């Protein structure tokens, strides 16, 4: 005796349309009416599936293409819910996509450079905060302001002719004192040279002459 054929559950037309639409959205790939009917275990017949697909396509709920005219066997894929009203003329060209990619790459480079700069500035700020406190900076600024005021006061005094003038006698006395000590300095330099010559003759070869000269203060 032949096995009894399993009875297929009957569903209404609305349920059939909803079942097919949900199936297409879940699979998200093209299917023909024959494939859909078979994959749904014949809950919807091939003829009914083809009619439902045609109705869905006419209502712009799915996208489809009839590859075999005069038949009901054509691949169907669900239409994206986000792009159901998209104008084909709004499609982005490959050139525009390349330009967008280039801009994104450029912005990423800028971002990387800015992050490096920000890190450097944070390090500099941290170093400054650890070396000088706000109180120290205020004290330094105050000291510089006082020094500036003193220099400006002296400058204004010189411009006004309030500086003490040096007389001829005072200038001659200073020049005489300068000449006197210049002669003394030259004599000391000569004596230092003669003494060093005598000392070098008696120094051991292994002894550092520079250390000896420095210890004697001959260059002071």
Residue 8 contacts residue 16 (beta carbons within 8 Å): no
Residue 14 to residues 10, 44, 96, 133, 177: CA-CA distances in angstroms? Answer: 12, 11, 43, 79, 124
Rounded (10°) angle between helices 209-216 and 168-202? 140
pLDDT in tens, 175-209: 999 999 999 888 888 888 888 888 888 878 777 87
Q: How confident is the model at residue 166 (pLDDT cuts 50, 70, 90)?
A: confident
Measured between alpha carbons, how far apart are the two ends of the chain, in Å?
132
Spatial distance between the Cα atoms of 140 and 149, rounded to a whole number of angstroms: 14
Give the residues across from 76 on adjacent strands: 31, 64
Spatial distance between the Cα atoms of 62 and 97, rounded to a whole number of angstroms: 27
Spatial distance between the Cα atoms of 102 and 95, rounded to a whole number of angstroms: 11
The residue-averaged pLDDT of 89-115 equals: 82
Indicate whether 1 pLDDT > 70.
Answer: no
pLDDT in tens, 70-82: 344 444 555 555 5
Give the residues across from 63 on adjacent strands: 77
pLDDT in tens, 55-99: 888 888 887 665 444 344 444 555 555 554 455 455 567 788 888
Count the Cβ atoms, other than its own, within 10 Å of residue 74.
20
Domain 13-82 = CATH 3.40.50.970: no
Count the Cβ atoms, other than its own, within 10 Å of residue 54.
17
pLDDT at res. 85: 46
Indicate whether 51 pLDDT > 80.
Answer: yes
Residue 85 contacts residue 91 (beta carbons within 8 Å): no
pLDDT at res. 69: 43
Of 27, 32, 83, the residue nearest 53 (C-alpha): 32
pTM of the model: 0.31
Give the residues across from 62 on adjacent strands: 78
């Amino acid at each position: 005796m032949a096995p009894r054929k399993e009875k297929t559950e009957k569903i209404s037309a609305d349920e059939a349309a909803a079942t097919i639409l949900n199936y297409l959205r879940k699979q998200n790939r093209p299917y023909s009416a024959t494939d859909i009917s078979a994959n749904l275990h014949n809950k919807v017949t091939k003829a009914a599936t083809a009619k439902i697909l045609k109705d869905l396509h006419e209502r712009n709920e799915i996208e489809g293409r009839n590859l075999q005219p005069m038949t009901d066997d054509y691949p169907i894929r669900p239409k994206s819910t986000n792009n159901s009203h998209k104008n084909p003329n709004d499609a982005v060209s490959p050139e525009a996509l390349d330009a967008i990619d280039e801009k994104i790459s450029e912005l990423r480079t800028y971002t990387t450079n800015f992050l490096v700069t920000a890190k450097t500035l944070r390090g500099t700020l941290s170093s400054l905060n650890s070396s000088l406190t706000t109180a120290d900076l205020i004290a330094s600024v105050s000291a510089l302001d006082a020094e500036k005021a003193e220099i400006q006061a002296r400058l204004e005094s010189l411009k006004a002719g309030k500086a003490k003038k040096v007389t001829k006698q005072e200038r001659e006395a200073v020049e005489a004192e300068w000449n006197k000590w210049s002669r003394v300095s030259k004599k000391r330099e000569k004596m230092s040279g003669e003494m060093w010559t005598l000392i070098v003759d008696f120094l051991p070869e292994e002894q550092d002459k520079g250390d000896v000269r420095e210890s004697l203060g001959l260059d002071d």
